[in-house]
């Protein structure tokens, strides 16, 4: 019997039907909706308001080889290098070759990127860490907002798309033939469960940054898509690889505001408490080394000096330039009394991006029929062990559009009357159902544990300790009656934490975002592979 998060019987619930169901309203979900035929009816679920997503927060930009001195091949080379030997080359090839087309498409939807100051007919191309060429198109330092605002405007104007805010997908409904027929969902406004049936379901629910105490991700990023897929018997992969952003503002009032890589791309230097520029001691590319290297170097410098943070110095640029180039960052820092043109910015690394997720093929297809995934929820294999900066918004676009193409063949005659009945598994109600406060305490324990023991530097002993704690938490909540969104999020987070830790224990080497101080070297002979997990167990492929 399938294990669902809640007891239910679809016969007893309100039902909604559409040709396509999309979970999530970030760049991947919204662009996919726009790229699907307008002949399809589409239901889109999103956990909060439509504009609450990682996508909207994206600052730096989108990578695309537009310069005459650049090419998709150069972009591919940089992506493969950052990915540390385990990128899926076919997927990367698709990404870099379809990039420009998708950028033209979103410009057609009204997205405005900054123009080259010398030649207004060209887009301005910025540089970010580990890119060998200038290829980051941006809209100031609020690229995600500009892209999402314009795409959402276009989507809400489409008559075939029904947007359902504050409706949370809880579990996939997979029939006896192993085909996904939609989801069980919870309507937070009406406080009731509903069924969303569809011929195909597309998961664009983002990543799971909220598993960590320090993260740049918003509260909606609890990995629901990956957890639902696992419970439904689908494959997850690369859960061992989590990316930590090197430069997140370190301030008592804020633990999640990102200081974009573009600031280092523009010449900012990393300094320790004594004012020493320390990156030349760690890597030949200095501040522009790959993200994992910079994060580990900061972490190591913090450990060595006993400091809680390091500093980012962009004081070599004048105020007028900084206000224009980084308006959001400038104003945010100023609101905390930090003037970028005069003061160092206190920073520390924080969780930022999940390389792992639902295993997908070249058209967003997953191991479950009629179920697709794109964006950060998916693992297309393009990022390998470490994502190259500004490749993720692009991934959402490229693979979202590919699902749109594939869907033309998949949306067929699955009519309303063919939808099967689903009944949730019985749970025994725990005698001492947890209070909201207890749930929050458990969530806090989990986040601190993941940050401390499953973070930037890992060891066998600490991972095993973390696994024992997570399993104890899992036992504690196994009979929990899931009558609140926090309880459901906790179930998903505990499920994914266990998968991340198990994969991290298994991988006895260091590669990309996964660094083991007890196995500090990359070991291609034994570990040039992916760890795939399902309910049935773990496989190396
Ligand atoms: C601060 C920050 C800056 C970044 N800067 C860049 C950058 O410059 N360039 C770049 O390429 N990448 C950047 N990234 C990464 C990039 O933004 C994300 O990887 C990308 O936006 C993911 O898009 P998505 O559509 O897959 O998911 P998201 O944008 O995270 O959207 C997920 C959506 O799913 C919804 N959802 C989640 N669970 C459920 C559920 N159970 N039911 C219904 N809905 C659900 C959420 O509410 C949300 O609408 C940045 C990320 C952050 C946090």
- Report the pLDDT value the prediction gives residue 44, as an integer from 0 to 100: 98
Q: Which two tokens stand for residue 507?
A: 């991988």
Q: Which residue has the tokens 């080394």?
A: 289
Q: Which residue has the tokens 């997850």?
A: 236
412 confidence band (pLDDT: 50, 70, 90): low
- Report the pLDDT value the prediction gives residue 73, as an integer from 0 to 100: 98
CB 218 within 8 A of CB 39: no
From residue 71, give the alpha-carbon distance in Å to each of 122, 132, 183, 399. 16, 11, 41, 20
Is there an atom of ligand 1 within 6 Å of 172 CB?
no
Does 121 or 130 have the greater pLDDT score?
121
Q: Given the CA of residue 61, which atom of ligand 1 is nearest to it?
A: 8
Per-residue 3-state assignment (H helix, E strand, C coil) for 189-214? CCCEEEEEEEEEEEECCCCCHHHCCC
Catalogue the long-range contacts made by 417-420 (C-beta closer than 8 Å, 24 or more residues apart).
Answer: 419/15, 419/17, 419/181, 419/182, 419/197, 420/175, 420/176, 420/181
Is there an atom of ligand 1 within 6 Å of 223 CB?
no
Is there an atom of ligand 1 within 6 Å of 216 CB?
yes
Choosing from 135, 231, 291, 325, the catalytic residue is 291
Q: CA 70, 76, 77, 78 torsion: positive or negative?
A: positive
291 among known catalytic residues: yes
Q: Given the CA of residue 391, which atom of ligand 1 is nearest to it?
A: 11
Q: Which residue has the tokens 């997927």?
A: 91
Given a cut of 80, is residue 81 above it in pLDDT?
yes
Given a cut of 60, is residue 413 above it in pLDDT?
no
State the Cα–Cα distance between residues 356 and 243, nearest whole angstrom. Answer: 10
432 confidence band (pLDDT: 50, 70, 90): low
From residue 9, give the alpha-carbon distance in Å to each of 164, 172, 173. 22, 14, 11
Q: How far is the CA of 274 from the centre of ligand 1 (A)?
A: 36
Nearest protein CA to atom 37 of ligand 1, as residue: 205
State the Cα–Cα distance between residues 30 and 163, nearest whole angstrom. Answer: 10
Q: Which residue has the tokens 């505990």?
A: 494
Average pLDDT for residues 463-482, to the nearest whole number?
Answer: 91
Task: Determine if the pTM surpasses 0.85.
Answer: yes
Q: Given the CA of residue 185, which atom of ligand 1 is nearest to it?
A: 42
- Report the pLDDT value the prediction gives residue 424, as an integer from 0 to 100: 87
| Of 34, 25, 111, 75, nearest in space to 377 by CA | 25
Rank 120-129, 367-376, 406-415, 416-425 by mean pLDDT and report only the highest: 367-376
- Report the pLDDT value the prediction gives residue 428, as an integer from 0 to 100: 57
Give tens-digit pLDDT for 267-294: 999 999 999 999 999 999 999 887 888 9
Return the DSSP state at 113. Answer: P
Q: Given the CA of residue 257, which atom of ligand 1 is nearest to it?
A: 1
Q: How far is the CA of 106 from the centre of ligand 1 (A)?
A: 17
Is there an atom of ligand 1 within 6 Å of 366 CB?
no
- 2-16, 136-150, 229-243, 489-503: which has the minimum mean pLDDT? 2-16
Given a cut of 80, is residue 232 above it in pLDDT?
yes
CB 246 within 8 A of CB 347: yes
E strands, 483-540, where?
Answer: 531-534, 537-540
State the Cα–Cα distance between residues 353 and 223, nearest whole angstrom. Answer: 11
Give the three-state DSSP class for 30.
helix
Q: Which two tokens stand for residue 106?
A: 């979103």
Give tens-digit pLDDT for 29-70: 999 999 999 999 999 999 999 999 999 999 889 999 999 999
- Report the pLDDT value the prediction gives residue 479, as an integer from 0 to 100: 77
- Report the pLDDT value the prediction gives residue 418, as an integer from 0 to 100: 72
Q: Which two tokens stand for residue 514?
A: 């996964």
Average pLDDT for residues 161-190, to the nearest whole number?
Answer: 96
State the Cα–Cα distance between residues 499 and 4, nearest whole angstrom. Answer: 18
Q: Return mean pLDDT, the chain.
A: 94
Q: How far is the CA of 153 from the centre of ligand 1 (A)?
A: 18
State the Cα–Cα distance between residues 13 and 480, nearest whole angstrom. Answer: 22
Going by C-beta distance under 8 Å and a sequence separation of 6 or more, which residues neighbour residue 478?
none
């Amino acid at each position: 019997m399938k294990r669902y998060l809640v007891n239910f019987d679809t016969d007893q619930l309100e039902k909604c039907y559409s040709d396509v169901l999309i979970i999530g309203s970030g760049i991947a979900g919204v662009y996919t909706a726009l790229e699907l035929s307008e002949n399809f009816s589409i239901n889109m679920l999103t956990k909060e308001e439509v504009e609450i997503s990682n996508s909207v927060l994206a600052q730096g930009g989108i990578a695309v080889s537009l310069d005459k001195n650049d090419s998709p091949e150069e972009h591919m080379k940089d992506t493969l290098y950052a990915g540390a030997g385990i990128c899926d080359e076919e997927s990367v090839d698709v990404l870099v070759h379809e990039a420009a087309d998708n950028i033209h498409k979103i410009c057609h939807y009204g997205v405005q990127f900054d123009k080259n100051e010398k030649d207004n007919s060209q887009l301005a191309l910025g540089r970010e860490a580990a890119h060998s060429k200038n290829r980051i198109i941006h809209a100031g330092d609020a690229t995600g907002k500009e892209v999402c605002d314009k795409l959402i405007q276009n989507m809400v104007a489409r008559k075939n798309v029904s947007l359902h805010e504050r409706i949370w997908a809880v579990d996939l409904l997979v029939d006896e033939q192993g085909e996904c027929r939609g989801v069980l969902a919870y309507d937070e406004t009406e406080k009731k469960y509903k069924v969303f049936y569809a011929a195909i379901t597309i998961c664009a629910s983002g990543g799971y940054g909220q598993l960590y105490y320090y993260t740049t991700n918003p509260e909606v990023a609890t990995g629901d898509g990956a957890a639902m897929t696992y419970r439904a018997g689908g494959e997850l992969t690369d859960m061992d690889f989590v990316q930590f952003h090197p430069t997140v503002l370190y301030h008592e009032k804020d633990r999640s505001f990102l200081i974009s890589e573009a600031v280092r791309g523009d010449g900012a230097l990393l300094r320790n408490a004594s004012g020493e520029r320390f990156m030349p001691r760690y890597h030949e590319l200095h501040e522009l080394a790959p993200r994992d290297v910079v994060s580990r170097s900061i972490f190591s410098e913090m450990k060595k000096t006993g400091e809680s943070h390091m500093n980012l110095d962009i004081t070599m640029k004048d105020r007028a330039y900084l206000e224009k180039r980084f308006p959001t960052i400038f104003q945010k820092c100023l609101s905390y009394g930090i003037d970028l043109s005069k003061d160092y910015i206190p920073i520390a690394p924080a969780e930022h991006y999940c390389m792992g997720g639902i295993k997908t093929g070249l058209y967003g297809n997953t191991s479950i029929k009629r179920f697709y995934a794109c964006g950060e929820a998916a693992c297309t294999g393009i990022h390998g062990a470490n994502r190259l900066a500004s490749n993720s918004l692009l991934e959402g676009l490229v693979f979202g559009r590919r699902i749109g193409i594939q869907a033309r063949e998949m949306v067929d005659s699955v009519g309303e009357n063919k939808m099967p009945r689903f009944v949730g598994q019985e749970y025994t109600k725990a005698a001492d159902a947890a209070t909201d406060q207890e749930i929050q305490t458990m969530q806090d324990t989990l986040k601190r544990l993941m940050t401390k023991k499953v973070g930037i530097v890992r060891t066998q002993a600490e991972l095993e300790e973390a696994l024992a704690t997570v399993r104890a938490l899992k036992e504690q909540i196994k009979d929990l009656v899931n009558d609140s969104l926090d309880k459901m999020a906790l179930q998903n987070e505990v499920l994914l934490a266990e998968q991340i830790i198990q994969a991290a224990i298994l991988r006895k080497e260091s590669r990309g975002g996964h660094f083991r101080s007890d196995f500090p070297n990359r070991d291609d002979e034994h570990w040039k592979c992916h760890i795939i997990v399902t309910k049935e167990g773990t496989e190396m492929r």
